[in-house]
């Protein structure tokens, strides 16, 4: 039954996230918001919605290990798994100016997460500050995209173009958003109940369940977006999806969750996994900068690194049992 809850929650999260994203994009277009701004804000927020809802549900339910494990595991998966899969499909071109801007923002956000892990806790006021930093960055990017066209502006426009067709009627857009949010809440509840049951039945720490099953499940929107971008030879969009998602996950999702409920880092995440996330980020950025592309060979390297990481998590789970 726990596995049924878990996979049922995953499916509902995926469908609901897609519905919410379509409705939000349709609403943005109806109010004549530019494709660049849609790509920057709506797409980034929309693909991070599953992580946000799951983290809030987990934190309120007294399961901070699931919440933090979800974010750290998702960011590791975004870089090693999703970027690796995208590069294997088609070598990912990287625009220098876009990578410098959003890549630096992702690196700073990742560094902040490591510092917070060392401190051991994210208090509500820190969570609020993280959200404020994200909103400030988005506001600056919005102003920049409106006043000057550069590589980042064009990238955000491509992100909007790669989205599925959104409803044109206002009523349908609102219906998609409302039903999507209801579905996200329900799916997150099922996912957490199933994951908690699996952890209890097999004696696996909740932190490892968050780093693996939940992280992979909530990263599916980013995976789908990256695969579509790679198939369309929009390598810069695939790379931008990963950079933006990781930044949103830390500043937006982790920040908003901590603002509602203080988060304490589990010992294993504090001593191992945040450092893996930092190492993955530190490896991925030079790959993007070298030749301004991520080749198939480099994609295979990232994918192998993720498989080794998941293998190490499996061993940790067995040892803990």
The confidence score (pLDDT) of residue 117 equals: 96
As a whole number, mean pLDDT of residues 263-276 equals 94
The confidence score (pLDDT) of residue 320 equals: 56
Does a structural domain hold residue 197? Answer: no
- 243 vs 124, higher pLDDT: 124
What residues make up the domain containing 127?
36-52+62-164+205-320
The Cα–Cα gap between 188 and 101 comes to: 32
The Cα–Cα gap between 17 and 313 comes to: 28
Does a structural domain hold residue 258? Answer: yes
Does a structural domain hold residue 187? Answer: no
Q: Is 31 exposed, middle or buried (0-12, 13-18, 19+ CB in 10 A)?
A: exposed
3-state secondary structure string, the chain? Answer: CHHHHHHHHHHHHHHHHHHHHHHHHHHHHHCCCCHHHHHHHHHHHHHCHHHHHHHHHHHHCCCHHHHHHHHHHHHHHHHHHHHHHHHHHCCEECCHHHHHHHHHHHHHHHHHHHHHHHHCEECHHHHHHHHHHHHHHHHHHHHHHHHCCCHHHHHHHHHHHCCCCCCCCHHHHHHHHHHHHHHHHHHHHHHHHHHHHHHHHHCCCHHHHHHHHHHHHHCHHHHHHHHHHHHCCCHHHHHHHHHHHHHHHHHHHHHHHHHHCCEECCHHHHHHHHHHHHHHHHHHHHHHHHHHEECHHHHHHHHHHHHHHHHHHHHHHHHHC
Does a structural domain hold residue 24? Answer: no
Does the structure show a pLDDT above 70 at 291? Answer: yes
Residue 278 near residue 62 (C-beta atoms within 8 A): no
Q: Convert the pLDDT of each residue in 227-257 to its tens digit.
A: 877 887 777 777 877 888 898 999 999 999 9
Does a structural domain hold residue 25? Answer: no
Find which of 12-26, 196-210, 218-232, 277-291 is predicted with most confidence, using mean pLDDT: 277-291
The Cα–Cα gap between 50 and 112 comes to: 22
The confidence score (pLDDT) of residue 85 equals: 93
Contact partners, residue 119, CB within 8 Å, separation at least 6: none
The Cα–Cα gap between 110 and 106 comes to: 6
Report the number of distinct structural domains present in the chain: 1
Query: Lowest mean pLDDT: which of 2-11, 27-36, 122-131?
Result: 27-36
Q: Convert the pLDDT of each residue in 53-96 to its tens digit.
A: 889 888 888 888 889 999 999 999 999 999 999 999 988 887 77
Q: What are phi and psi of 92, to 5 degrees?
A: -95, 115
Query: Lowest mean pLDDT: which of 82-86, 140-144, 189-193?
Result: 140-144
**Please, which pLDDT band fits residue 28 given cuts at 50, 70 and 90?**
low
Does a structural domain hold residue 177? Answer: no
The Cα–Cα gap between 255 and 126 comes to: 7
Q: Is 97 left (phi over 0), alpha (psi -120 to 50) or beta?
A: alpha
Contact partners, residue 112, CB within 8 Å, separation at least 6: 130, 250, 251
Residue 275: give its domain's CATH number: 1.20.1420.30
Contact partners, residue 13, CB within 8 Å, separation at least 6: 50, 53, 54, 183, 184, 187, 188, 191, 217, 218, 220
The Cα–Cα gap between 298 and 284 comes to: 9
Residue 215 near residue 66 (C-beta atoms within 8 A): no
Q: What size, in residues, is the chain?
A: 321
Q: Show the tokens assigned to 27.
A: 């609403």
Does a structural domain hold residue 209? Answer: yes
Does a structural domain hold residue 9? Answer: no
Residue keyed to tokens 């709506």: 42
The Cα–Cα gap between 87 and 229 comes to: 11
């Amino acid at each position: 039954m726990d596995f049924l809850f878990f996979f049922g929650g995953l499916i509902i999260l995926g469908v609901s996230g897609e519905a919410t994203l379509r409705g939000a994009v349709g609403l943005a277009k109806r109010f004549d918001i530019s494709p660049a701004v849609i790509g920057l804000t709506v797409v980034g927020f929309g693909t991070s919605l599953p992580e946000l809802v799951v983290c809030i549900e987990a934190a309120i339910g007294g399961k901070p290990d699931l919440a933090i494990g979800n974010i750290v595991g998702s960011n590791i998966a975004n870089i090693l798994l999703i970027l690796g899969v995208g590069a294997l499909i088609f070598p990912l071109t990287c625009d220098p100016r876009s990578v410098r801007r959003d890549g630096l923002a992702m690196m700073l956000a990742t560094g902040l997460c490591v510092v917070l892990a060392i401190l051991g806790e994210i208090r509500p006021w820190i969570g609020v500050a993280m959200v404020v930093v994200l909103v400030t960055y988005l506001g600056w990017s919005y102003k920049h995209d409106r006043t000057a066209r550069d590589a980042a502006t064009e990238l955000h426009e491509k992100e909007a173009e790669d989205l599925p067709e959104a409803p044109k009627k206002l009523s349908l857009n609102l219906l998609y958003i409302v039903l999507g949010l209801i579905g996200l809440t329900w799916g997150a509840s099922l996912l957490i109940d199933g994951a908690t049951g699996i952890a209890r039945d097999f004696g696996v720490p909740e932190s490892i369940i968050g780093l693996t099953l939940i992280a992979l499940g909530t990263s599916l929107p980013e995976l789908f977006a990256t695969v579509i971008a790679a198939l369309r030879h929009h390598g810069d969009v695939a790379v931008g999806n990963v950079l933006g998602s990781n930044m949103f996950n830390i500043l937006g999702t982790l920040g908003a969750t901590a603002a509602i409920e203080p988060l304490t880092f589990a010992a294993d995440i504090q001593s191992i996994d945040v450092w893996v996330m930092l190492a993955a980020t530190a490896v991925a950025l030079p790959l993007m900068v070298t030749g301004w592309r991520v080749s198939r060979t480099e994609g295979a390297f990232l994918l192998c690194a993720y498989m080794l990481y998941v293998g190490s998590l499996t061993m940790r789970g067995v040892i803990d049992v």
